[in-house]
Amino acid sequence: MRRILVGLLKLLAVLMPLSFAWVVAYKFIAPPITGMMFYKWWEQENYTIDYRWKDVEEIDSSVPLAFISSEDQKFLDHNGFDVEAIKKAIESNKESKKVRGASTISQQVAKNVFLLPTKSYLRKGLEVYFTFLIELVWGKERIMEVYINVVELGKGVYGVEAAAQKYFKKSAKKLSRQNAALIATALPNPLIYKLKSPSGYMHKRSNWVLRQMNNLGGEGILREWYE
């Protein structure tokens, strides 16, 4: 047992600096591929990846606002974890067979970029670890910049620029508020909520997202990202 513990400590002593360096590197460079992309490419035959990185200034400010409004309204204020949402999810899951999630945008970035989409306590623990690191090293603007570039928005379609070109025939810089709100409705399951043929629910949901965008204060809350 002692040898095992010593071995694990030595392994951690090597892996922790490497993981920290990995996170620091992605603060400055675009991830060439993410864990999610690699996993799906490996698992699915003839799987193609459409991934087009754009800096946040090259994407209309309505896009990150729409994602915050739809996915994580406390994104600008929390430290990577929405404790209140986690408590509510735990209570809800005790009484319902339908599992309710409470992942923040930061957690989704940590999971999608650095990890494989497997279900295990180890993966969940690593998600917490990488969420803490990106909040510490990257900050909110970079977390959102990575999110809007790597989030899956259709089979093999990653990031808002790829989605804008594929579904709206325009660049992400020219997306309207309505376009941004509709894109946000594809989350968290773009293989069910398809931007290629939006359902009535998606259009209804996009109207709700637009109202939330106004309620949160509009694009002005992200002004410093675009100055």
Where are the chain's structural domains?
2-225
pLDDT value at position 90?
Answer: 65
Residues in the chain: 227
- Residue 51 pairs in a beta bridge with 158
**Confidence category of residue 137, pLDDT binned at 50, 70, 90:** very high
CA nearest neighbour of 70 among 216, 170, 200: 216
Tokens of 2: 């002692």
Tokens of 205: 């949901």
Q: What is the DSSP letter of 158?
A: E
- 193-198 CB contacts, 8 Å cutoff, 24+ apart: 194/154, 195/153, 195/154, 195/163, 195/166, 195/167, 196/154, 196/166, 196/167
What pLDDT, on a 0 to 100 scale, did the predictor assign at position 94?
Answer: 56
Q: What is the pLDDT of residues 33-43, one digit of tens each?
A: 999 999 999 99
89 vs 63, more confident? 63
pLDDT over threshold 60, residue 9 = yes
pLDDT the model gives residue 7? 66
| pLDDT score, position 211 | 98
Count of beta carbons in the 10 Å neighbourhood of residue 110: 27
Q: Does domain 2-225 have CATH number 1.10.3810.10?
A: yes
pLDDT at 99 over 60: no
Mean pLDDT, range 100-111, rounded to an integer: 87
